[in-house]
Structures are given as C-alpha cells and as structure tokens.
Chain A
C-alpha cells in the first residue's frame, strides 16, 4: 500500500514538473505571439524613416485597422504625399491618389513593390496577420538576442502563394516578442531582415512600437517604422473600410 501511494505521489509530481517545463511547439509559440499582439481594432499615427545611402526621407501616416476581415485604411499626411490613401481588405489592396482622383487596384506582381518607396512591400503589409496560416513552424534552436533568451523558429511555406519561401524568427521566451525575423527565397538567399527596436506595454499587451526592415536586395537601404498615439479596441465603423470612404 505504501509503495502504491509513493508511486502515485511520484507520478503526480513528475506530471506537475513536466507540465511546468513542457516545451511549447512552434505553432503554440506563434499563437502566443498572436495572443499578445491581438487587437480587435487599432488606430495609430506612424512615421516611416527611409534610409537610402546617406539620405533620409520621412513619411507620416494615420492608420486604422480591424482584425476581423483583415481591414486597414492608411492615409499619408506628410506634405509630399498628402491625402494618398491605402485600403486593404483581406488580401486585396487599393491606392487612392487625390491629385488625379485615381483609385488603383494593386495586385499580383505589383504587390512586390516597396510601399511608398520603403523597404516594406505591399505583400509584407497584407500578409502580416496570416503567417501561421501559411507556414509550417518548427523550433530549430535557442539563442540570446540583446540579452533576451529567444526561441529560434523556422517557418517553411505550406502554400505557394507566399512572398517568402521560408522565414527564421527569434521569439522572446518570456514575452513572446518576435525580436528578429529573416525572410528567405526558395534558393536560400536572404531577402529581408526585420528587427524590433522598441516595445511598449499597453495593459497586459506588449506591443512592438519601433521596428526596422532591411531589404537585402537593395544596397544601403533600410526603413524604420515608428508607431505613436496607439489606441486599441476603439469603435471603428465597418463602412470606413470601403471604396466610398477611400475617395473622400
């Protein structure tokens, strides 16, 4: 009887210990990132600083987005691009140029182009919320990045319709922040690198507020993107994500 009780206690203890140290799967880590960054709606002003050789160009924008249906409306407010707007609905994108009252649908090959001359492509913006749906995720290592212990995830495309064949991601073990991401072509060539430079706590949520994208195909070029005046889960009417609103 004593032996049975001792085995039972040992079993319970080992179960508890295993539960504590259970290693998360790659998909679970991706889900944790999504849970941390998840919002119903978001509104912010942003600043894109584009570094080209030794020159700097700045773009300022106001953005509103809704998670449900992957909807976003972005308006540029710097004098050079004032009034230029983007409407993203799921995986479709339209640009409005106010000077000529022109609405242009961006599709296919054009999605690979840099957004307003930056190192972020339209595709980067469109697929930001869909990575876990389109890639198989494996934990392939552990690393320390700027003093932060990280999981190293390797993502391989499981569908054809992706801009990058594989990705490598450094995810903070405690806060589930993807500090660094590398995007590769099928040939194994490094195409882009993204680094989170600054995070900020909003209630329970820890959100990246400053990041940089380096396009490895362009010489001496990087774009730093900063978010300011962020408001989460505010009321945004559905009809603002429409072609009608885009042209107002």
Chain B
C-alpha cells in the first residue's frame, strides 16, 4: 500500500513538474481511464464462473514545444490491474512470461502488480534531407486497420478495445523526395531470443492513391519479404497489401495478401471489412483465411454504437472468432463513457480467456 501511495505521489509530482516547465518548452497531455469488467466463463461448472476484474491506466504524453530542429516525444502508460486481471498478470509475472509482453512490471503490491508500458520514447532530429528517429516508436508500416502482413514492427493489439499498437525499439530514417513521396528506412534494435527486422519502403501518391513498395528482412529467420501496398478511393475506399516471403536462400517462397474496403453512408453509417490470406508456412497468430468486419452507427456526434468481428480460419476446423459490441458516449468535453461486450469462441486452448466479457470504461482526458 505504501508503494502504491508513493507511486501515486511520484506521478502527481511528475505531472506538476512537467506542467510547471511548460513555459520552458514541454507540452504535457494525456488521459486516465478505468475499465471495470465481468469475465464470464460459460463452460465453467463451478460457482465462480463470473469473475470481476479491470484496469486503471494513466497515459502520459509529452514532447518539446519547439519542434523546429527535432522532437523528444514520449507516451508512457502506468497500469494498475484489478481483481481477476491482477491475478492473471501476477501469474504471468510468476511464470516469467512478462518479458514477452509490452507491460513491464514495476513492482507487485500484495497480489496487485503495477505495470509500465512505454509506447513511445524517442528522439527525432530534422535534417534538411532527412528526419532521423531513435528509440521506442509506433511504426505504422502497413495500410490495414487490423490484418497487415507488412506491419512487422508495431502490430495491432486485437485484445485492446481501440486496436492500439505497441511501441518498437527502432532507428528510422525518413528521406523525402517530394511533398508526397519519399523513402523510409527502419531497423529494429537486436533482441535476444526474439526476431527483429529491418525494412525499407518507397512511397508515392499518384492518381489519388498512396502506393508503397516494401522490402523487409527478418534477421533471425533470414527471411526476405517484398511486396507493395496501396490505399485510395474507387467509389469505396480500397486498400491492400500483396507480399511474397523468400526463405532458405530464396529456395522457398510464400504469398500473403490483404484486401480492405470501407464506406460511409450519409455521415451516419460506416462500414469496413478486411480479408487476409496467410500461407500456412508463415508462423504467426492468424489462420489461413481471416476476416474482419466492422459496422458503426453514429447516432449523433456524441453517441455512437459499433460492432466488430474478427474471424480466423473461417470455415476451417479451428475457428477463432471474436465479436465486440461497443457504445461510445462523449458525456462531457473531456469525458468519455464506453460500454462494451466481447464474445470469444474457440479460444485455441487459452483457458484464461473468458467466453464473454462485459465491461465499462470511463476515460478522462487532460
């Protein structure tokens, strides 16, 4: 309890310090959100099939105000899991699995771990011919919303209700050719026992479409990935990624592809779908055929409801499906109330994942 209290005091002092130094050039903003969730295990015959958990997240963001020559930017989340969620994190920490997670355990108080997620912490230098960035960054490399075969750095976290990404430790060099074209070079810091990649892309805008040619090298697997991606408008918004994997000195090759559509009707109904084909030789969490469908109804600019579905290997023997319904209400200028329910089916032996989750999130932005 003392540690929790001193942590909170430290946090308040940090906020105050940053706020006080605003005149000297630091901009600080962020949010605090609390998720309270009920996890329902439908096939659990015992009495405790319903477990209560949740998380409090303080998300701090900052950068220097004068960005003329460069930028120092950070986004640090401090997470305090509650109830069943705290139990799950404690178990992960005990098993030593926390290293594979983006959450770094600061300390454990009783059964409550306090976690840190450094989403961004990097330095940029703006040179006349290039922007150079070094440190933890969000690298949005693909064109997709969910399924992106070329998004090898900061992949989308489908367990997050806003499908957020986690940071990657990289060096990135962005060289512009014109206002709408350029070249990006990105290399991940080598990590023990983990794959790390280097990538290169050239992008250009023509015929109202953004096009990019991409090349990726996975160092440990000695794998080369090449392909191209596009995003533009042809009645529907359309986007896609088509790539080829080359392994074993180019003796083996596999194809991967993603195609997406989005459309908005009368500024009220927003529809989006993505299909992702993965070759079975490629080792990642998805199946051969994967589909994402999303529908959002804007009741007004303060209130909207949405349904998202992610299905993997649809029609196959090992289906994995996730349905999520959300209702977002902007109660006050800086306060959002989000209620959501998620249903998980065919969980691939992940026993800790509930069948249904009912939750509410209150978010205050500052």
Contacts and interface: CB of A to CB of B under 8 A. Distances in A.
Given A89-B179, A112-B267, A101 B237 contact: no
Contacts of B36: none
Nearest to A69: B179
A181 to B, nearest CB: 20
A53 B302 CA distance: 10
B291 interface: no
Contacts of A150: none
B264 A110 contact: yes
A99 B365 contact: no
A55 B301 CA distance: 11
B179 A99 contact: no
B165 interface: yes
A108 B140 contact: no
B140 A113 contact: no
Interface in B115-141: 124, 126, 131, 137-140
A241 B232 contact: no
Interface residues of A, number: 38
B264 A101 contact: no
A100 B164 contact: yes
Interface in B283-299: none
Contact of A242 (B176, B300, B330): B176
A80 B333 contact: yes
Contact of A107 (B138, B165, B237, B330): B237
Interface residues of B, number: 46
B264 A57 contact: no
Where chain B touches its partner, the secondary structure class is: strand
Interface in A24-80: 50, 52-53, 55-58, 79-80
B233 interface: yes
A125 to B, nearest CB: 15
B67 interface: yes
Nearest to B331: A55
A203 B198 CA distance: 55
The 10 tightest CB contacts between A and B, nearest first, are A107-B233, A108-B233, A242-B179, A117-B301, A101-B138, A244-B176, A101-B140, A82-B29, A113-B267, A80-B365
Interface of B: 27, 29, 61, 67, 71, 75, 124, 126, 131, 137-140, 154, 164-165, 174, 176, 178-180, 182, 205, 208, 210, 231-237, 262-267, 300-302, 330, 333-334, 365-366
Given A114-B267, A244-B174, 8 more contacts: A52-B301, A79-B334, A79-B365, A109-B236, A109-B237, A242-B179, A247-B174, A248-B131
27 contacts: A52-B301, A52-B302, A55-B302, A57-B301, A57-B302, A57-B330, A58-B333, A79-B365, A79-B366, A82-B27, A92-B208, A99-B75, A101-B137, A105-B205, A105-B231, A105-B232, A108-B233, A108-B237, A109-B233, A110-B233, A110-B262, A112-B264, A113-B264, A113-B267, A217-B266, A242-B178, A242-B180
